[in-house]
């Protein structure tokens, strides 16, 4: 069984950390917006209020349009997914 990785102290000093996919999935990073790509974890800065308001407006407009035409769903970040080789993606 994997031991959860506690890297919160390291993330206060740096924005990129190397770890395996298994370590990333075991790491409790619910309150941190981070992504794992090819062994490197990148931690992102929190969004500003202005950014969040614009995202909310666009999400509402696009969501209403897609619902009206039954075309799909709009999801906002962060949304955890794993890209499949050759395209597409799967939710993790």
Cα angle for residues 58, 86, 36 (degrees, 5° grid): 65
Q: Which residues pair with 43 in a beta bridge?
A: 34
Mean of per-residue pLDDT scores for the chain:
76
| Backbone CA torsion sign across 8, 14, 15, 21 | negative
**pLDDT tens-digit series, residues 27-48:** 877 778 788 888 888 887 777 8
Alpha-carbon span 22 to 3, nearest angstrom: 10
**pLDDT tens-digit series, residues 50-66:** 988 999 999 999 999 99
Q: What is the pTM of this model?
A: 0.48
- β strands within the chain, DSSP E: 16-18, 34-37, 40-43, 81-83, 89-91
> Do strands 81-83 and 40-43 pair parallel, antiparallel, or not at all (unpaired)?
unpaired
């Amino acid at each position: 069984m994997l031991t959860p990785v506690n890297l919160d102290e390291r993330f206060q000093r740096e924005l990129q950390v190397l770890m395996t996919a298994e370590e990333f999935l075991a790491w409790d990073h619910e309150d941190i917006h981070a992504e794992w790509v090819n062994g490197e974890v990148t931690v992102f800065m929190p969004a500003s209020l202005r950014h969040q308001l614009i995202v909310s407006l666009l999400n509402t407009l696009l969501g209403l349009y897609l619902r009206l035409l039954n075309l799909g769903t709009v999801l906002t970040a962060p949304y955890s997914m794993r890209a499949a080789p050759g395209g597409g993606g799967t939710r993790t």
